[in-house]
Structures are given as structure tokens and as C-alpha cells.
Amino acid sequence: MTVDPTTTYPKPPFDKQTQPFPGLAGQMHPKPDHGETSYVGSGRLTGRKALITGGDSGMGRAAAIAFAREGADVAINYLPDEEADAREVIALIEKEGRKGVALPGDLRDETFCETLIEDTVAALGGIDTLVNNAGRQQQAQSITDISSEDFDATMKTNIYAMFWLTKAALKHMKPGSVIIQTTSEQAYDPSANLVDYAITKAAGMNFTKSMAKQLGPKGIRVNGVAPGPIWTPLQVSGGATMEKLQGFGGDTPMGRPGQPAELASIYVQLADPKASYANGQVYGAAGGGGQP
């Protein structure tokens, strides 16, 4: 059966809406599709043990649902304010007969990041898949509007945490393990009002490629996913202007934003042991735009 991708999901204009950061998917309208009812697994990740940061919503949630339906046990990290979304994800994981572990906390703290890995290992019996997905995005029309505190929060959430978690996870990872970064089209085509966010996404892409070279000889693959405009709580909780939000994704060749569910299979592909020669790659999903 063929499906027209231009009409599969909602198109702009979208209703005006705003939420305090970090936002909840359950309060967005329309609600994002994370594959809750559509993703069908086939055992591609049977026996894998994964930690996904930002697993309560967006691409992290889509990956968590898909991983569980492919046979993996999954731990998710999220901020305490996102508990409502996280509980839905854990329920979906457990519905598949897999182990779902909720590990809330702030990734801006190095000690917490180290504890997060240890708690994942204790709960799942190990870790062989790390998805560094959690992100902070707050738009600012001018660099003068970005305080040092804001800049620091973005750097620590998007870069420091990726660095800390990877270091801690490598103590437990064996050959065959995988690390996946969520980067962004902002890494190579940055928006004027997302200066600090775009910096971190470029860093994440670079980290992916350098770590792939460092860890490839050890049998650990490192890859990235670079989404374009995707309908997630980042957009309604300060990540976009109201004007941008109402027309979100309308300037892509498909005329709409992507949904997290449309990226789930990419995360599965990169985690699948059969994709054993994919290393240092960044897979784009931008509806016809983008470069990687």
C-alpha cells in the first residue's frame, strides 16, 4: 500500500499555543504522533538494553516505543516536570512485555549523569545502546537576549550531558554496542534566532564523527540523526516564535512538519546489529530540505 507523505500528517497553519519549558506532548494540539498506534516491530533489537534521554516526548519517545516493540528493554530519562508524558511511555514499553525504567533528573549535573548510567545498568542488567537525545531549545531574536545563564543551560543540556553520559556508558559497553546522537539540521543550516542551540547541534554532529573514529576499532558504532522541523514540545515551550509555530514546517517541500513517528525507524536502523557498517553517519530527515 502506498501512502502520500504530503497528506499523511497535519499541515500548517497551527493554532496559537504556548507552554512553559520543557512542555508536554500531551498538551499540544494537534498531539504529536510518536508511533503509539502505528509502529510495528519485528524483533530487530531483541535483547538490547537501551537508555534514551528525553525519552518522554519527541524523537526520544518515538525511539523508546520502537525499541520496545523491536524487543529491547528501555530506560528513559526526562525532567521531573515531564512525568505525565514519561508515564505514558513506560506504560507503552511494558505493554510490549519489555522492561521500562523511568529515571527522572537534570542532565546539567555531572554526578547525576554518572548515576543515571549506573542506575540504568543496575535496572537493565547492562547497557549496549545509548541515545543522547535530550535537548534544550529557546529562541532569541538577538544574541544580546541570551544571558550567560541561558547559554550555560543549553550547553550543559545539549553538549556536556552527551559528553558525560558517553564517558560513563563506555565503562560498561562491549563490542556491538551503539551510541546515537540526536543532532539537527541546525548543525549545518542554523537559524538566526537559535544561535546557542545551533552551536550545540553542530558540536553533536562533530562529536559523532570523532567518536566513531575513536570507538570503531573497539567495535562500538556511533551515529547521529539530524531532524528538520519536527512537531515536538520544544516548539511550543519557547523554541519558536508564535509566527514560526503557526506556519511550522510549511516551507519544506512536503509543506508540513515531520512527526516523531517518522524518525523512529531511523533510530532502529542505527541501533540494529545488522547495520554493522554504519559508523560515523548522520541520517537526515527534513522533508526534502537539509544536507547530511
Three-state SS for the chain is CCCCCCCCCCCCCCCCCCCCCCCCHHHCCCCCCCCCCCCCCCCCCCCCEEEEECCCCHHHHHHHHHHHHCCCEEEEEECHHHHHHHHHHHHHHHHCCCCEEEEECCCCCHHHHHHHHHHHHHHHCCCCEEEECCCCCCCCCCHHHCCHHHHHHHHHHHHHHHHHHHHHHHCCCCCCCEEEEECCHHHCCCCCCCHHHHHHHHHHHHHHHHHHHHHHHHCCEEEEEEECCECCHHHHHHHCCHHHHHCCCCCCCCCCCECHHHHHHHHHHHHCCCCCCCCCCEEEECECECCC
Q: What is the mean pLDDT of the segment spanning 77-90?
A: 98
Walk across the sheet containing 178-182 and list its strands.
100-104, 73-78, 49-53, 129-132, 178-182, 221-227, 282-285
What is the pLDDT, as a whole number, of residue 290? 73
User: Over 80: is that where the pLDDT of 277 sits?
Assistant: yes
Tell me if 226 sits within 8 A of 282, measured CB to CB: yes
β 49-53/73-78 pair status:
parallel
Residue 69, CA atoms < 13 Å, CB-side half-sphere: 21
Res 146 pLDDT > 70: yes
Average pLDDT over residues 83-91: 98
Q: Report the distance separating Cα 250 and Cα 128, nearest Å.
A: 38
Q: What is the pLDDT of residue 150?
A: 98
Averaged confidence pLDDT in the chain: 97
pLDDT for residue 148: 98
pLDDT tier, 292 (very low <50, low <70, confident <90, very high otherwise): low
Set 39, 197, 267, 283: catalytic member: 197
Q: What is the pLDDT of residue 214?
A: 98
pLDDT digits (tens, 9 = 90+) for 197-245: 999 999 999 999 999 999 999 999 999 999 999 999 999 999 999 999 9
What CA–CA distances, in Å, run from 44 to 11, 68, 260, 261?
Answer: 32, 10, 19, 17
pLDDT at 119 over 70: yes
Q: Residue 152 pLDDT > 90, yes or no?
A: yes
pLDDT tens per residue, range 30-60: 999 999 999 999 999 999 999 999 999 999 9
Contacts of 210 (CB under 8 A, 6+ apart): none
pLDDT for residue 1: 78
Instruction: Assess whether 267 carries a catalytic annotation.
Output: no
Q: Average pLDDT for residues 125-143, to the nearest whole number?
A: 98
pLDDT, mean of residues 21-27: 97
For residues 181-195, average pLDDT: 97
Give residues with Cβ within 8 angstroms of 15, minimum separation 6. Answer: 29, 246
Over range 171-185, report the average pLDDT.
98
41-285 topology per CATH:
Rossmann fold (3.40.50)
Q: What is the pTM of this model?
A: 0.97
What confidence score (pLDDT) does residue 90 get? 98
**Contacts with 215 (C-beta within 8 Å, 6 or more apart), sequence order:** 170, 179, 221, 222
Q: What is the per-residue pLDDT for 135?
A: 97
Q: Are the CB atoms for 153 and 31 separated by under 8 Å?
A: no
Per-residue pLDDT band at 289 (split at 50, 70, 90): confident
- State CA 292 to chain mean position distance: 17
Q: How far apart are CA 40 and CA 37, in angstroms?
A: 8
Rounded Cα distance, 244 and 250, in Å: 9
Give the pLDDT of residue 238. 97
CB 287 within 8 A of CB 256: yes
